[in-house]
Amino acid sequence: MDNENGFSLQFEIKGSNFGSAGKVSTEIKEILQEIGIDPSIIRRAAIATYEAEMNVVMYANRGTLSLTVTPKNLHIRLDDEGSGIEDINLAMQEGYSTATDEMREMGFGAGMGLPNIKKNSDEFKISSVPGKGTSLEIIFNLNQAERA
Amino acid sequence: MNQYYHSIRIDTDKCDGRMKCMRACPTEAIRIRKNKATIIEEKCIDCGECISVCPHNAIIPLTDPFGELAKFRHTVAIPSPALYTQFGREILPDKILDGIKKLGFDDAFDLAFTCGEVSFAIQEYLREYKGPKPLISIACPTIVRLIQVKYPSLIDQIIPIEIPRELASREIKKKKSKQFDLKEKEIGTFYLTPCPAKMISIRQPAEKGRSHLDGAISISDIYGPLLSAMESTEKISFRKALGNICILGIGWAMAGGICRTLRLKNSLAVSGIPEVLKVFNDVERGKLRNIDFIEAYSCPQGCVGGSLTVENLYVSYNKILKLIETLEYEKIKACPDIREVRKLYGQKYFFMEGKLEPRPLKPLDEDLGKAIKKRKEKDTIYKSLPKIDCGICGSPTCLTFAEDVVTGEAKLEDCIFSLPQKLQDLSQEMISVLNKSAIFSPKIPSQKKGKKKE
């Protein structure tokens, strides 16, 4: 992914680590601000990466998030190792969630995670192998948007 | 060059570069250059942290001296409600306002009443508002600047209702000019401020309009004179003075005061920059959409924790809390008439005259491609640094140093950990020069050659 014009970084996310949940999305937001991405795109990217990060924390053992920024787009890829998703269509429905009661009590698991990522991104792909893990690909276009 | 006005100045005679301010700065706006602290203007949000930590009082808040009063025909002091917390519990606002008048002001205005009006106006705004939540209070100018600089996407969530001191000053000038047949500019209104940030919001309002106030005087400057002036004020009965306190407005001096007096259900109060950052990060991620209203202050516990206050902030916080409890218990409600506020609200009386615009930090480069390249470079440099944030280079952290190198503000050699490597390289070079020389050939083999020795 890393090429002449691009900048890539990788972040490791641990499952069940609620204490540092949100760190990756904050770091990504700061990087995008330094580069000078439009604030409205940063906001969408912050929401999408946060939801993606939380999915790993809540449902997977571990995950790797790679961010690549080129003058054309932001490309975020997330691969996790975990239980995977049995029925992707169902998981993409708003309100559907397999969160435990404890997670819900903490305000998570409203069944908005994946739909929210899709809603906020320009391109969104998901694939999953039950019992192995899930992969997300999230893209934000930069070329049409005005620069900050 | 001076695009942004700041209320802080560094006295370079007193500063000896001890880095305390650089480490305390929440927006990493301070660098030490040639043993003196310097402020990066576009990053500074005027929170005043540096003032509090400087061991030499080398960082000076630029408030107005008392002499400014002489420029006006009629002067009015508008103390922040935080001033009411600075004295013992039996000293109520009435006595303090009387004391201020003895200091040379023609009048002293109780801002708590205006704060109460604004509290009601906020309530009205919350009721009508349909956009993304939570809404954020405008009370703290540092927080407004923090949002402009670091959270530009949240700017439309700041409640666009004018701050009480501006409304009060506008009203005072209107009334007094009629009363005394003076021009509005002949009436000087001075805010008695608990923090330097209020000073910039007067000199350079965040929404780029013009302030209705003429200056700000530090509470710590006025504290001593006021204390003695109050000794000669007439006795007022405690109960009567209590009856004049607006319970809605008095809470503006502390974090949580607005939420508490308005009895807002889904609201929260946060104070201290590190805590505010945590909450705003959550807001930005969309995690706090169920919260209606956030009261955020840069100083711990709100304005009572301002760097220009005198009393211990927990003592003053507690004084407000107890005062609110007493007023609640005694059922004293010297508050603005809500019907009157609603009428004024309908006439747009409370709304800000200008519009808040984001003020995002300059990116690493104006060109997106170059900015990406520089960010990559920053990462490479950072990886080569010791990551112990010693600060000797003059930047607060290794990460900011890497950025300073990329933007040309610092040189890689400024990192003291690059010194041994540099010395080794230099000595290698010297030896090789000496070895090449035909005149003088010392018996010192260079390291590499030494290893290959036959």
| CA gap B222, B101 in Å, rounded | 12
pLDDT at A114 over 60: yes
At residue B34, the pLDDT reads: 92
B118-to-B79, B93, B121, B199 alpha-carbon distances in Å: 16, 19, 5, 21
Out of 3.30.365.10, 2.40.50.90, 3.40.50.2300, 3.30.70.20, which CATH number does the structure's domain B8-61 have? 3.30.70.20
Residue A46 touches chain B, beta carbons under 8 Å: yes
Strands, sheet with B74-79, edge to edge from the N-terminal-most edge strand: B107-108, B74-79, B187-193, B215-218
Q: Which of A7, A39, A116 sits opposite B360 (nearest CB)?
A: A39
pLDDT band at B72 (very low <50, low <70, confident <90, very high): very high
Whether chain B has a CB inside 8 Å of the CB on A43: the answer is yes
Residue B134, preceding peptide bond in cis (omega within 30° of 0)? yes
Q: Is any Cβ of chain A less than 8 angstroms from the Cβ of B152?
A: yes
Consecutive H or E run containing B114: helix B111-128
- Cα-based distances in Å from B82 to A1, B63, B187, B218, B316: 55, 17, 24, 12, 8
CB contact under 8 A, A107 and B358: no
Write b or e for each residue in B101-118: b if 16 or more Cβ atoms lie within 10 A of its Cβ, otherwise e. ebbebbbbbbbbbbbbbb
As a whole number, mean pLDDT of residues B315-344 equals 91
| Three-class secondary structure of residue B117 per DSSP | helix
Domains of chain A listed by start with CATH number: 7-141 (3.30.565.10)
CATH node for B66-346: 3.40.50.1780
Minimal Cβ distance to B285: which of A5, A40, A50: A50
- Tell me the average pLDDT across B158-185: 95
Looking at beta carbons, which residues of chain B come within 8 Å of A43?
153, 284
ipTM summary value: 0.82
Domain boundaries, chain B: 8-61, 66-346, 368-414, 419-451
Closest CA to A137 of A60, A72, A59, A79: A79
Q: How far apart are the first and last CA of chain B?
A: 64
| CB contact A61 to B (< 8 Å) | no
pLDDT tops 70 at residue B407? yes
CB contact under 8 A, A35 and B153: no
Chain centroid, CA B258 distance in Å: 19
- What per-residue confidence (pLDDT) applies to B65? 83
Lowest mean pLDDT among B101-105, B223-227, B442-446: B442-446
Please report the sign of the dihedral spanned by the C-alpha atoms of residue B117, residue B118, residue B119, residue B123.
Answer: positive
The CATH T-level fold of domain B368-414 is: 3-methyladenine DNA Glycosylase II; Chain A, domain 3 (1.10.15)
As a whole number of angstroms, the distance between CA B74 and CA A60 comes to 69
Task: Return the number of CB contacts < 8 Å for A and B.
Answer: 72
Q: Which tens digits make up the pLDDT trace of A137-148?
A: 999 998 754 444
Q: How many CA atoms lie within 13 A of B96 on its CB side?
A: 29
> Which positions in chain A touch B152 (Cβ < 8 Å)?
39, 148
Residues of chain A found within 8 Å of residue B364, distances taken between Cβ atoms:
34-36
Of A33, A46, A70, nearest to B372 by CB-CB distance is A70
Contacts of B287 in chain A (CB under 8 A): 50, 107
What are the structure tokens assigned to B390, written together? Answer: 């010693």
